[in-house]
C-alpha cells in the first residue's frame, strides 16, 4: 500500500492539495492510504497575571479548530474507497510534517503552496518550501 501524507491548514492551497491526492488515487483506491495531517501552532508572546487561564482557552480553541478541520476534510472520502486517517499534532508545521513523514515511512507528501512571493519566502520561509528541503520522501507542491 502506498502512503500519501497531506498536510492541511484550511487554505485554498491545502484544499487543492487534498483534491490532487484524491485524483492520484483514482482507479487504484485500494492501493492507497491518505493521511490528513494538521499541525496546530501554539506560541505565546505575552506575559502577565491570569495568563494560565488565557493560555488554556487559546490552546483548547486552537485544538478544537484543528479537529474540526480534519473531520471536515475526512468527510470528502465517504464512499470513495480510499482509506483515510487523520493526525493532529502541535508544533512547528514544517518540522512536524517532515518528522511524521519520516517516522511513518510515507511515500510522498502532497502539500499546498500558499503562494508567498520571493520576498516573503526570503524573509519568512514557507512551510512547503521548508518541507521540500527537509523531507525524506518526495514532495508534490500543489499551487
Look up the CATH number of the domain holding residue 14: 3.40.50.620
- In the chain, the number of structural domains is 1
What pLDDT does 107 receive? 98
Task: For the chain, 143 residues long, give each residue's pLDDT as a single digit of tens.
Answer: 999 999 999 999 999 999 999 999 999 999 999 999 999 986 655 555 555 655 666 678 888 999 999 999 999 988 889 999 999 999 999 999 999 999 999 999 999 987 444 544 444 458 999 999 999 999 999 98
Domain hosting residue 48, numbered range? 2-142
- Alpha-carbon span 7 to 81, nearest angstrom: 20
33 close to 77: Cβ distance less than 8 angstroms = no
What pLDDT does 122 receive? 47
Amino acid at each position: 500500500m502506498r502512503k500519501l501524507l497531506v498536510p492541511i491548514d484550511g487554505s485554498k492551497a491545502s484544499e487543492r492539495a487534498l483534491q490532487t491526492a484524491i485524483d492520484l488515487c483514482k482507479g487504484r483506491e485500494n492501493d492507497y492510504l491518505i493521511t490528513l495531517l494538521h499541525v496546530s501552532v501554539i506560541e505565546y508572546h505575552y506575559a502577565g497575571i491570569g495568563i494560565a487561564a488565557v493560555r488554556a482557552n487559546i490552546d483548547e480553541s486552537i485544538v478544537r479548530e484543528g479537529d474540526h478541520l480534519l473531520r471536515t476534510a475526512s468527510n470528502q472520502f465517504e464512499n470513495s474507497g480510499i482509506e483515510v486517517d487523520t493526525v493532529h499534532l502541535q508544533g512547528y508545521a514544517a518540522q512536524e510534517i517532515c518528522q511524521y513523514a519520516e517516522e511513518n515511512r510515507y511515500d510522498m507528501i502532497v502539500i499546498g503552496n500558499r503562494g508567498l512571493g520571493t520576498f516573503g519566502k526570503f524573509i519568512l520561509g514557507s512551510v512547503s518550501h521548508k518541507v521540500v528541503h527537509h523531507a525524506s520522501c518526495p514532495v508534490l507542491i500543489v499551487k
